[in-house]
Every structure is written in C-alpha cells, then in structure tokens.
Amino acid sequence: MREEIIITKKVAKKGDDGYKIVSARMKDELIACLDDLSVQTNRSRNELINLLLENAVKIVKIKD
C-alpha cells in the first residue's frame, strides 16, 4: 500500500530560523521533479525537501 504526502500551496512568509545547512547529491530527474513541485506549490526547493523528509521519516519501516 502506498501512502500519499499532501503538500499545500504556500502563503508568502519569511524569517524562519533554527535550521542547519546540509548537502546531498541528487539525480537530475529528482531535481526536475522538485522544481516542478516548487512551481505548483509556490514553495522553494529547500522547503519542499524539508516537508517531504519530515513526512517520510514518520512512515519509514525498518526490516531486519
């Protein structure tokens, strides 16, 4: 069963704090998908990555 991650469109707001910078290598296709989502949701690529990861870590199941 596949779960959905729902992201709403962003209302302009700036000044968030408390973040650390990390670097990750990604394939061009994944970046293109993120950029498409960015346009559709009016959110930055960085914000989308954070939203997606915050939701993904909640649904991860670890198998032995």
- Rounded Cα distance between 8 and 11, Å, is 9
43 part of a folded domain: yes
Q: What is the mean pLDDT of residues 36-60?
A: 95
pLDDT in the model for residue 16: 60
39 part of a folded domain: yes
Sign, Cα dihedral of 33, 12, 47, 14:
positive
Its pTM stands at 0.69
**Residue range 9-43, pLDDT digits in tens:** 876 666 666 777 899 999 999 999 999 999 999 99
* Domain membership of residue 47 as a residue range: 25-59
52 part of a folded domain: yes
The answer to whether residue 52 scores a pLDDT higher than 80 is: yes
The count of structural domains within the chain is 1
